[in-house]
Amino acid sequence: MLSIKNLHASVEDKEILKGINLEIKAGEVHAIMGPNGSGKSTLSAVIAGNENYEVTEGSVELEGEDLAELAPEERAHKGVFLSFQYPVEIPGVSVTNFMKTAINEHRKANGKEEMPANEMLKLIREKSELLEIDRKFLSRSLNEGFSGGEKKRNEIFQMAMLEPKIAILDETDSGLDIDALRIVANGVNKLKNDENAVLVITHYQRLLDYIVPDFVHVLMDGKIVKSGGKELALELEERGYDWIKSELN
Amino acid sequence: MAKYTEDDLKVELETKEYEYGFYTELDSETFPVGLNEDIVRAISLKKGEPEWMTNWRLDAFRSWQEMIEPEWANVHYEKPDFQAISYYSAPKKADPNKTLDDVDPELLAMYKKLGISVDEQKKMNNVAIDIVVDSVSVATTFKKTLAEKGIIFMSISEAIKEHPELVKKYIGSVVPPKDNFYAALNSAVFSDGSFCYIPKGVHCPMELSTYFRINQAGTGQFERTLVIADEGSYVSYLEGCTAPSRDENQLHAAVVELIALDDAEIKYSTVQNWFPGNKEGKGGVYNFVTKRGLCEKNAKISWTQVETGSAITWKYPSCVLKGDNSIGEFYSIAVTNNHQQADTGTKMIHLGKNTKSTIISKGISAGKSQNSYRGLVQISSRAENARNFSQCDSLLMGNNCGAHTFPYIESKNTSAKIEHEATTSKIGEDQVFYCNQRGIPTEKAIALIVNGFSKEVLNKLPMEFAVEAQKLLEISLEGSVG
């Protein structure tokens, strides 16, 4: 599904990612953990095609296709979805209107007609029920005045609507209380199937109690320094990151 | 991956052209350039006006000669040479007694280009349209349907002849000929425009619309619009404006007067898309407009404007809230791009008791443009319990444009409540990236953000024009964010 090879990326000439290798297959859940400043968010931004980051070496492929030349929206059309750590506000644009625009742009890119209104309504109803979202919420301006939990739930709602191949959840657990965390995680679990994949980027282990990863990778100083199964997350929770550092030295 | 830079955006912006910049070869009669009493008389004669009108014009002209051009607005331009302009130009085939079938086929072709095919308009329900090209009104649809309700909708030239009692009573009653430099000029040389009268208690069943078009080079356009809503009546009125792209600046100085008698309501919406000049700031229309409405008891006037065109905009649609309990509203979206300059806003003059006014102004600046909101809220000593709410929001794109707000508040009554809110924001790269990540390309993302920003005002426009206005916003701002 997603194949990252020797990925180097920098921002303002400062190298952040220093050779990342990662293979994610359909149906898998991967978690990337690491201390602050290790490059976790940079990795998600680079996969999504954020132009503030320059890829200096290596490649990111989605189902065998190199993403390097593709604009962020083109990557989205191919099935890359990023759940933002800090979703932005767009005043005056309702969640529904935003989703309608996004879905129709996806359809246009894939040579399809715009989605008829009744079909759109049905889809919105179905997905909002799945994620226990109050319909009133959908008429509010995108992220404007949303609580931390609402913002993250809205991200997962968008993911449900767009049905991406690879969903990257960047620090989705930050700012969530335990109830909100459970709802968001349940949503992700419901959306997961054999044909898509999830990459969870997190600082803490607690989200992984709910979204159980098949693989856990430790990112330090721009490199994946250790990989393992879900038990690695527990070990990190217990022992912190220092022991890995010393293991490396 | 190739980075989408400011330079790319600039290239894109440069390739975008003003959609309405065509010129139609029409056989026109144009007066020689220059302005003096003889020209004023000639205009009046040409239009077969009665003597009182000729004298009214001459009085205005004499006042104008004594006046000086205002300089207080936050706009910078080379002043027009008023002696280098022709004050009358008319497509020759326009006949005051025309029906649509008699209209010059070239004119009809021009309307089609403008996207307002008159044939379509004829069939379309609920919009009656008057079209003014250069100086004269060439087509008024639905006259008959409206007449059945007693509604008068015709060119002002016709109204001067057919309803002199109404014109005489109301023309200049809200905007006196000596009101300001441009209003005086307009009063002297106005060539045509629309006239509308809604009788007592009549709810006008359709939108009334005027389309203004400057076609001929080196001419000024000075329309005069007069809308009278008699007691308890209602009308919704829309004007649209376009002009060809030309290197030299064209002058447009209109006067619009609205009169809402007791319990009447007038909604006046404008979509202004005069040629804004090219990317270097050459050419474009100078739009110096005086618009004012008078509200009698319990009356209401709403001005809604979407201003995307003109090199210079100087325009303050205002409400004189004379009657008790009257209401004035001003909803505005002003977009400036490249070298455009806009100084626009409103005046709310509270004279009556319990009068209310609302001002919502949305300014969007891009390129090297300057966008100013200038508004006056004045509460007179006898205006007990007057209320005003003003909100002025500015949205900036890029680092070379400016947004300015000049609110003036004068209150002579301690019971007044006046609120003013203002915000300035910038379209952020992070907002655009967020949209991109959801599959929405940058251009579309900007349109979405701008439409969201302008939503409160767009919602005030009649449905069919709201769609047009949205498209216009998109076109005006294409490729303007870095």
Q: What is the DSSP string of B332-380?
A: EEEEE-TT-EEEEEEEEEE-STT-EEEEEEEEEE-TT-EEEEEEEEEE-
Residue B118 pLDDT grade (very low, low, confident, very high; cuts 50, 70, 90): very low
CB contact under 8 A, B456 and A93: no
Which of B399 and A212 is assigned the larger pLDDT?
Answer: A212
Reply yes or no on whether the pLDDT at B179 is more than 70: yes
Task: Classify strands B318-321 and B341-350 as parallel, antiparallel or unpaired.
Answer: parallel
CA-wise closest residue to B174 among B64, B90, B294 = B294
The CA distance from B347 to the nearest CA of chain A, in Å, is 27
**CA B255 to chain CA mean position, Å:** 9
How far apart, in whole angstroms, are the C-alpha atoms of residue B71 and residue B347? Answer: 18
The length of chain B in residues reads 482
Q: How far is CA B226 from CA A29, B56, B229, in A?
A: 69, 16, 10
CB contact under 8 A, A109 and B439: yes
Q: Best mutation site among A93, A96, A97, A141 for testing chain B: the one with the most B CBs within 10 Å?
A: A93
Q: Best mutation site among A44, A53, A84, A90 for testing chain B: the one with the most B CBs within 10 Å?
A: A90
CB contact under 8 A, A71 and B441: yes
State which amino acid sits at residue B459.
N
H/E stretch holding A73 reads helix A72-78
For every residue of B212-252, DSSP letters joined together read EE--STTB-B-BEEEEEE-TT-EEEEEEEEE----SSEEEE
Reply yes or no on whether the pLDDT at B290 is more than 60: yes
Reply yes or no on whether the pLDDT at B24 is more than 60: no
Is residue A92 within 8 angstroms of chain B, CB to CB? yes
pLDDT tens-digit readout, B402-460: 888 999 999 999 999 999 999 988 888 899 999 999 999 998 898 899 889 988 888 88
Task: Classify strands B194-198 and B152-155 as parallel, antiparallel or unpaired.
Answer: antiparallel
**Residues of chain A contacting residue B448, judged by C-beta atoms under 8 Å apart:** 90, 93, 97-98, 101
Average pLDDT over residues B7-18: 45
Nearest to A76 among B4, B439, B453 (CB): B439
Please give the residue range of the domain that contains residue B59.
Answer: 12-477
Reply yes or no on whether the pLDDT at B249 is more than 60: yes
How far apart, in whole angstroms, are the C-alpha atoms of residue B449 and residue A26? Answer: 35
Output the pLDDT for position A17: 94
**Phi-psi category of residue A12: left, alpha or beta, with phi > 0 → left and psi -120 to 50 → alpha:** left
Following CA atoms A76, A80, A85, A88 in sequence, which dihedral angle do they give, to the nearest 10 degrees?
10
Output the pLDDT for position B337: 84
Average pLDDT over residues A61-78: 95
Q: How many helices (H) and strands (E) does chain A have?
A: 8, 12
How far apart, in whole angstroms, are the C-alpha atoms of residue A154 and residue B438? Answer: 13
Domain count for chain B: 1
CB contact under 8 A, A90 and B452: yes
**Taking CA atoms, what residue in B is nearest to A88?**
B431
Query: Contact, B235 vs B195, CB < 8 A?
Result: no
Query: Contact, B328 vs B301, CB < 8 A?
Result: yes
Report yes or no on B377 lying in a domain.
Answer: yes
Output the pLDDT for position B18: 54
Q: What angle is formed at CA A106 by the lines to CA A102 and CA A107, rounded to 5 degrees? A: 115
How far apart, in whole angstroms, are the C-alpha atoms of residue B285 and residue B443? Answer: 27
The CA distance from A90 to the nearest CA of chain B, in Å, is 6
Nearest to A51 among B4, B454, B455 (CB): B4
**Taking CA atoms, what residue in A is nearest to B482?**
A51
Is residue A213 within 8 angstroms of chain B, CB to CB? no
Report yes or no on B445 lying in a domain.
Answer: yes
Instruction: Tokens for B169, please give them.
Output: 């009573």
Nearest to B448 among A52, A93, A106 (CB): A93
Least confident of B24-38, B66-80, B315-329: B24-38
Residue B368 pLDDT grade (very low, low, confident, very high; cuts 50, 70, 90): confident
Output the pLDDT for position B447: 86
**Residues of chain B contacting residue A49, judged by C-beta atoms under 8 Å apart:** 1, 436-437
How far apart, in whole angstroms, are the C-alpha atoms of residue B57 and residue B213? Answer: 23
Q: What is the ipTM of this complex?
A: 0.95
Which of B104 and A107 is assigned the larger pLDDT?
Answer: A107
Instruction: Tokens for B56, please give them.
Output: 């009214």
Output the pLDDT for position B241: 59
Report yes or no on B6 lying in a domain.
Answer: no
Report yes or no on B298 lying in a domain.
Answer: yes
Residue B332 buriedness (CB in 10 A; 0-12 / 13-18 / 19+): buried
Q: Which domains does chain A have, with CATH numbers?
A: 2-248 (3.40.50.300)
Report the 10 Å Cβ neighbour count for B284.
28
Report the 10 Å Cβ neighbour count for B148.
8
Reply yes or no on whether the pLDDT at B345 is more than 60: yes
The CA distance from B415 to the nearest CA of chain A, in Å, is 34
Nearest to B431 among A50, A90, A162 (CB): A90
Report yes or no on B213 lying in a domain.
Answer: yes
Reply yes or no on whether the pLDDT at A162 is more than 70: yes
Report yes or no on B1 lying in a domain.
Answer: no
Report yes or no on B4 lying in a domain.
Answer: no
Q: Which residues contact A198 (CB under 8 A, 6 or more apart)?
A: A28, A29, A30, A166, A167, A168, A169, A188, A192, A211
Q: How far is CA A191 from CA A158, B264, B330, in A?
A: 11, 57, 48
Output the pLDDT for position B248: 61
**Residues of chain B contacting residue A55, judged by C-beta atoms under 8 Å apart:** 1
State which amino acid sits at residue A223.
K
Is residue A79 within 8 angstroms of chain B, CB to CB? no
Q: Rounded mean pLDDT of chain A?
A: 91
Is residue A162 within 8 angstroms of chain B, CB to CB? yes
Average pLDDT over residues B128-132: 62
Report the 10 Å Cβ neighbour count for B354.
18
**Taking CA atoms, what residue in B is nearest to A141?**
B452
Which of A134 and B16 is assigned the larger pLDDT?
Answer: A134
Report yes or no on B212 lying in a domain.
Answer: yes
**Residues of chain B contacting residue A80, judged by C-beta atoms under 8 Å apart:** 437
Reply yes or no on whether the pLDDT at B103 is more than 60: no
**Taking CA atoms, what residue in B is nearest to A87?**
B434
Average pLDDT over residues A175-185: 85
Query: Contact, B325 vs B298, CB < 8 A?
Result: yes
**Phi-psi category of residue B251: left, alpha or beta, with phi > 0 → left and psi -120 to 50 → alpha:** beta
How far apart, in whole angstroms, are the C-alpha atoms of residue A92 and residue B373? Answer: 21
Max CA separation in chain B (angstroms): 73
Reply yes or no on whether the pLDDT at B195 is more than 70: yes
